[in-house]
Amino acid sequence: MNAPSRSLATFTNEQFERLVRSGGFGDMRVELRRGLIVKTSPQYVPHGTVKRLLAKALETALASAGLAWIVDQEISVRFGSGFEPLPDIIVWNPAEAPANLDGPIPASAVKLIVEVADSTLADDLGEKLEDYAAGGLAEYWVADVQGRLVLRHSGPQANAYAKRDPAHFGDIIAALTQPLAVDTSTLK
């Protein structure tokens, strides 16, 4: 007798969003990755501190550049094809999204995503990086809490980025695809 085959059910973005809206996950923090529903990791003080300070530095940089973009934290971004992550920091242009937006941020309006990595560095530089590149995200940063670095990526290709440029916490960090200079002196 053959053993039963086991496979994971995959979900479309639409199915995932219906589950979220119906309260199917309660208070659990989840994201859709490669069609699979994934529970996100807890966040501790070092992660939260870097996220908060970097978000504030990005807001200051946007104001200095005269850009009316928004810096949000932990809001789902809809890339499609079974990918709807819950990034730590999202910089996006509301003028490039529907006026009555009542759901995830459309990837087409996103200018920059930052994942803060305290215990998730391998994933943020592995599968997540591949998925963001495949989704066409122009610029992707990973803030490495332990290494005290921001790893900037640009030039998305099939599942990788053409350019990777590290910068140290404490530096003024130039965005690779946008006219932003981000002062990270508070992260020193």
pLDDT at 6: 54
pLDDT in tens, 67-109: 999 999 999 999 988 999 999 999 999 999 999 999 999 999 9
Count of residues in the chain: 188
pLDDT at 41: 84
pLDDT in tens, 27-65: 888 999 999 999 998 889 999 999 999 999 999 999 999
* Residue whose tokens read 């199915």: 15
pLDDT in tens, 140-174: 999 999 999 999 999 999 999 999 999 999 999 99
pLDDT at 144: 98
Residue 23 CA to residue 18 CA, distance in Å, equals 9
pLDDT in tens, 1-27: 455 555 577 999 999 999 999 999 988
pLDDT at 59: 98
Which helix H or strand E contains 113, and what residues bound it? strand 110-117
Q: In terms of DSSP bridges, do strands 139-144 and 110-117 run parallel, antiparallel, or are they unpaired?
A: parallel
pLDDT at 9: 78
| Distant-in-sequence, close-in-space partners of 41: CB < 8 Å, separation ≥ 6 | 119, 120
Residue 56 CA to residue 73 CA, distance in Å, equals 11
pLDDT at 7: 58
pLDDT at 77: 98
Give the pLDDT mean for 116-127. 96
Fold of 43-187: tt1808, chain A (3.90.1570)
